[in-house]
Amino acid sequence: MRSKNFTYEKSGVSIKKADKFIKFISSSTKKSKKSGHFENIGGFGAITKLPSNLKKPYLVTSTDGVGTKIEIANLLGKFDTIGVDLVAMCVNDIIVQGAKPLLFLDYISVEKIDTKKLKNIIKGIIKGCKLADCELVGGETAEMPGTYSKGKFDIAGFSLGIVDKDKILLNKIKEKDLVLAIPSSGLHSNGYSLVRHIIKKKKINLKKNSFLKKELLVPTKIYVMHVLELIKKKYLNACANITGGGLKDNIKRIIPDNYCAEIKLEKIKSLKIFRWLKSQGVSDQEMLKTFNCGVGFCLIVNRSNYKKLIKFFPKKYRPYIIGKIVKKNSEKVKLSGKVIW
């Protein structure tokens, strides 16, 4: 017996909805597009002009997602901030090398296209790109019935940055440099599996908890504009984005051999969300290796530049001293004292 009327639509994929969504992205990005750039949304590949003012340009790339923070967004039905998170997780890594983010692409995979949900995600991505002074040039939205359960989705981002060879932040750390902490906006996009585990075990009704509803979807702080200004002024010797692995695992990635960053934990200015997590029974050790604990980004600077650079930050995100660089042959990061939760 011959089967009739097999269509892509009947299999769960809507080309019409996807096309309408692309038109929405295209019209939305035109509002923030910089003059002289190509029309990229909807094409097969994005074309971008390289800046002409660099003598020896190097490209820097980064890709990331937002982890299980999307499950909190799904549970609360709020999707306008995780797009900012997605951009932040990529561009905050780009600037660690001294590079300026140029462009951004996203990948969204869904069980079924929900136009309202996707529009809110894209609005967040566009906002994040604006905060990072880069351009959303393309991406992919994949409707994948059978791969994701109803209402489920995932997002990933890719960013490309550029830096002149003599401005790459590598091997510039010196003895007696200061380690500065820039405050985080909250959890950023790390440790959410542990957060969700606590919520489940404690049987917390997230929809009725106004504090957690607000705190868990605070978007990741984008540090691009502040850090690039410091690089321009030649105030930075190195910097680190504090993500999964916490202070120790991220700072040690930029410390040269024979040097050590000595961090005094009591200097850290923690935030209310971390105090709440600590009160739920998470050990100090687990807190420090899972969360940023209030430090979203670290700067390593010459002592003479400290007072010069703080004026480039608003009060809420003003850097403060948490440690210094010493000569040492053993561990690259030494944490001493305790965080005052």
The pLDDT tens digits for 20-31 are: 656 666 666 665
Domains of the chain: residue spans and CATH: 14-167 (3.30.1330.10), 178-186+221-336 (3.90.650.10)
Q: In angstroms, rounded to a whole number, what is the distance separating the alpha carbons of residues 239 and 95?
A: 8
Percentage of the chain surpassing pLDDT 90?
78
pLDDT tens string 135-189: 999 888 989 988 989 999 999 999 999 999 999 998 899 999 999 999 999 999 9
Q: What is the dihedral of CA 96, 99, 101, 103, to 10 degrees?
A: -120
User: 151 with 59: CB under 8 angstroms?
Assistant: no
pLDDT digits (tens, 9 = 90+) for 37-46: 656 666 677 7
- Predicted local distance difference test score (pLDDT) of residue 70: 97
pLDDT in tens, 199-252: 999 999 999 999 999 999 999 999 999 999 999 999 999 999 999 999 999 999
Mean pLDDT of 4-10: 67
**pTM of the shown model:** 0.91
Give per-residue pLDDT as tens, 79-124. Answer: 999 999 999 999 999 999 999 999 999 999 999 989 999 999 999 9
Cβ atoms of residues 157 and 90 within 8 Å: yes
SS3 218: coil
Q: Which of 21, 184, 191 is nearest to 106 (CA)?
A: 21
Closest C-alpha to 136, from 215, 304, 54, 22: 22
Give the pLDDT of residue 286.
98
pLDDT at residue 49 in the model: 80
pLDDT score of 11 more than 80: no
- Per residue in 243-257, pLDDT (tens digit) is 999 999 999 999 999
